[in-house]
Amino acid sequence: MQTMTSAYANKMLKSLEEDKAFWLNKEEEACTYVAAINEEPVVPDYDYVEVATTIAALDEKIAIIKHELNVTNASAKVLVGDVTMSIDSILIKMAQLNRRKTVLDVMRKRLPKSREEQRSYMSRNSVPEYRYINYDLELVKNEYELVSKSIMEMQMALDKYNQTVQFEVDI
């Protein structure tokens, strides 16, 4: 059993994935070789059993750590503002709010009235066209600020959790 935080587990997962990529690359490069008929082949150093065993062991560690992360993310509760949320709920909600924030950002940057560009040189309509916003610009700006604040609160709670709360991993 090893005790770790989410932050440490994620760093360990990254390291394990890098190790796995190394072994996969080694296998890709060394499992075959090319030689002309009239030359002595240069056979790369490759042991299928060693490579397959190493990749399987790395995959097993990755699966165990990811599972424990998922379990702790689903069961651990943290306070975000005045609401208690699970870590997985925070991650889902943050993704939703970030998508909404992107839309609100575009909307808050629009001018109340803007001229539309002519799409064609041969346009029949020579009268200028304008695009008007169909919403309260101040309301959208305020909503953007509220969404940003909510994301920040969730991120701060998540950062604190990731750095401090420990869980056991059997690796």
Q: How many domains does the chain have?
A: 1
| Predicted pLDDT at 128 | 84
Range of the domain at 16: 2-117+126-169
Residue 81 DSSP SS3: coil
Strands annotated E in the chain: 2-5, 77-80, 83-86, 113-115, 130-132, 166-169
| Predicted pLDDT at 68 | 96
For residue 122, pLDDT over 80 is answered with no
- The mean pLDDT value of the chain amounts to 94
Specify whether the CB–CB gap between 79 and 157 falls below 8 A.
Answer: yes
For residue 125, pLDDT over 70 is answered with no
For residue 118, pLDDT over 90 is answered with no
| pTM for this model (two decimals) | 0.79
Query: Rounded CA gap, 54 and 56, in Å?
Result: 5
| Predicted pLDDT at 117 | 81
Alpha-carbon Rg of the chain, whole angstroms? 27
Residue, of 26 and 128, whose pLDDT is higher: 26
